[in-house]
């Protein structure tokens, strides 16, 4: 009489492989997917930091210029936006803008300053924004000179109600400094993606800008 044969135990490795095949990929290793997701966010953060952090002396100088010029115009525009009636009154004291256009100038000019300053800070249309700020500072300089030449004892209105300074040599010095900084920034910049310009990109990747040798 033969005894019935007992079933042989399956290999544990095969069982593990079968269970892995039966489970969806998302349920096999949730910790791995979380790790890959964390690595993706980490790479994205690294790329964002690399785009805005200066890597050499030239980039550091550009960042300083952008901070000074852009920050000054954002501050000046924001203070004027906070009190448009006061700014319209300051503009009227120069006696150059027609009365019908006072409110329009008092509303539009501060926003132009803020947008141009933000573009300089972020690096969007950097050269165009720096050129616009250069033109605006030249205009402000001419307005102050005109007021001084006519003997007008009026407030500058350059930074809204901040300081309440009357037009004078201090205002001319501030405008001259901003003019030189904005002109220098415009001469060193090229319109391109945020965080840098095409010249800096070419310096970081010389192979892309060097023609091949035949």
The 10 Å Cβ neighbour count of residue 130 is: 27
pTM of the predicted model, to two decimals?
Answer: 0.63
Element holding 34 (H helix, E strand): helix 30-52
CB 91 within 8 A of CB 105: yes
Q: How many CB atoms lie within 10 A of CB 75?
A: 16
Ranges of H-type helices in 99-189: 102-122, 126-149, 169-188
pLDDT tens sequence for the chain (214 residues): 555 555 555 555 445 445 554 444 444 455 445 555 556 565 655 555 555 555 678 888 899 999 999 999 999 999 999 999 989 998 999 999 999 999 999 999 999 999 999 999 999 899 999 999 999 999 999 999 999 999 988 888 888 656 556 788 888 999 999 999 999 999 988 765 544 444 444 444 444 444 443 3
Of 103, 133, 97, whose CA–CA distance to 115 is shortest? Answer: 133
Helices 169-188/126-149 angle, 10° precision: 160
């Amino acid at each position: 009489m033969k005894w019935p044969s007992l079933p042989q135990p399956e290999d544990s490795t095969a069982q593990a492989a079968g269970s892995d095949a039966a489970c969806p990929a998302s349920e096999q290793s949730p910790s791995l997917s979380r790790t890959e997701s964390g690595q993706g966010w980490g790479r994205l953060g690294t790329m964002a930091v690399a785009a805005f952090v200066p890597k050499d002396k030239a980039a550091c100088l550009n960042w300083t210029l952008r901070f000074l010029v852009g920050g000054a115009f954002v501050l000046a525009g924001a203070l004027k936006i906070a009190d448009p009636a006061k700014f319209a009154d300051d503009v009227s004291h120069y006696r150059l803008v027609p009365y019908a256009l006072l409110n329009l100038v008092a509303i539009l000019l501060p926003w132009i300053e803020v947008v141009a300053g933000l573009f300089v800070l972020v690096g969007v249309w950097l050269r165009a924004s720096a050129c616009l700020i250069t033109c605006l500072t030249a205009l402000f300089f001419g307005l102050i000179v005109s007021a001084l030449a006519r003997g007008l004892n009026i407030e500058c209105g350059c930074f809204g109600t901040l300081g309440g300074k009357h037009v004078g040599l201090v205002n001319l010095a501030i405008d001259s400094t901003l003019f030189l900084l904005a002109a220098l920034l415009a001469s060193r910049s090229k319109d391109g993606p945020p965080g840098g310009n095409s010249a800096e990109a070419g310096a970081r990747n010389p192979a892309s800008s060097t023609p091949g040798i035949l």
